[in-house]
Amino acid sequence: MLAAELIDPMLPALKPTDSVGQALDWMQEHRVTQLVLTDQNDYRGVVSEELLMDVSDDERSLGDVMRLFEQTFVYEDQHLFEILGLVIQNHMDVVAVLNEGQEFTGTISASELLKQFAQELGVQDAGAILILSLNERDYSMAEISRLIESNNVKVVSSYFSSAAYGMPDKSRLTLKLNRRDITPVISTLERFGYQIEAAFANAPVESIDQERLDSLLRYLNT
């Protein structure tokens, strides 16, 4: 999903002539702590509730108050993952979207961004989560997917976390599957030498190493 598709049309853009009081009212109305400031489609930065609360005069124009992230924005064709990284890195509540001509086209809210990210990962879909601990040299998504799919189970999404320096056996592969009963999957993976670090499911999991898995098994509420 691209930035242009993530724009929230309900979020207003402030103008330099708007007052501090008006900006605070809009933030409260839309349940955000930041809003984008523009001047005739030119992006001017972000104003924050925290800074505006320190302004003693509610009638003071926004053109005279401190702004944040004046050089921080995204383009319409940037991917959701890029935007999410930018938002997290800068602790942003909103991010401005510009077109190729550097014109402001809309605002993305961090809350909506996280919802879309969760949907992309299939977080809301019913199914188990499996975490494998493996050496990086043994990581092959094609091979792991083949073994999982041999049990008529699909990988909805995956996330690979590299090991810290000097700890090659601590890499993790997190898998979201489309089935709740993953006992056959665990048995297959273990038979081929994969180490199951944790399993989260809605159905009881049995494996050839039941005692170890019992201590790791949790249940998701769906």
Assess whether 179 and 112 both reside in one domain: no
E strands, 110-194, where? 129-134, 155-161, 171-177
* Token couple for 220: 């998701």
CB 103 within 8 A of CB 173: no
Assess whether 39 and 129 both reside in one domain: no
The domain spanning residue 28 has which CATH number?
A: 3.10.580.10
**Torsion angle defined by CA atoms of residues 142, 146, 147 and 153, in that order, rounded to the nearest 10 degrees:** 120
What pLDDT does 171 receive? 87
User: How many distinct structural domains can be found in the chain?
Assistant: 2
Give dist(CA 145, CA 18) in Å, integer. Answer: 55
158 has which bridge partners? Answer: 175
* Token couple for 71: 């050089």
Give the CA distances from residue 162 to residues 86, 118, 132, 135, in Å, rounded to whole numbers and listed in that order. 21, 21, 12, 9
Assess whether 166 and 90 both reside in one domain: no
What pLDDT does 207 receive? 45
Does the predicted TM-score (pTM) go above 0.85?
Answer: no
**Torsion angle defined by CA atoms of residues 174, 110, 75 and 41, in that order, rounded to the nearest 10 degrees:** 180
What pLDDT does 162 receive? 80
Look up the domain containing 90 and give its range: 3-119
Assess whether 136 and 159 both reside in one domain: yes
What residues of the chain score a pLDDT lower than 70? 121-124, 164-169, 202-222
Q: Which of 103, 44, 33, 32 is nearest to 69 (CA)?
A: 44
What pLDDT does 214 receive? 45
What pLDDT does 123 receive? 64
What pLDDT does 210 receive? 43
**Torsion angle defined by CA atoms of residues 81, 85, 87 and 90, in that order, rounded to the nearest 10 degrees:** -170
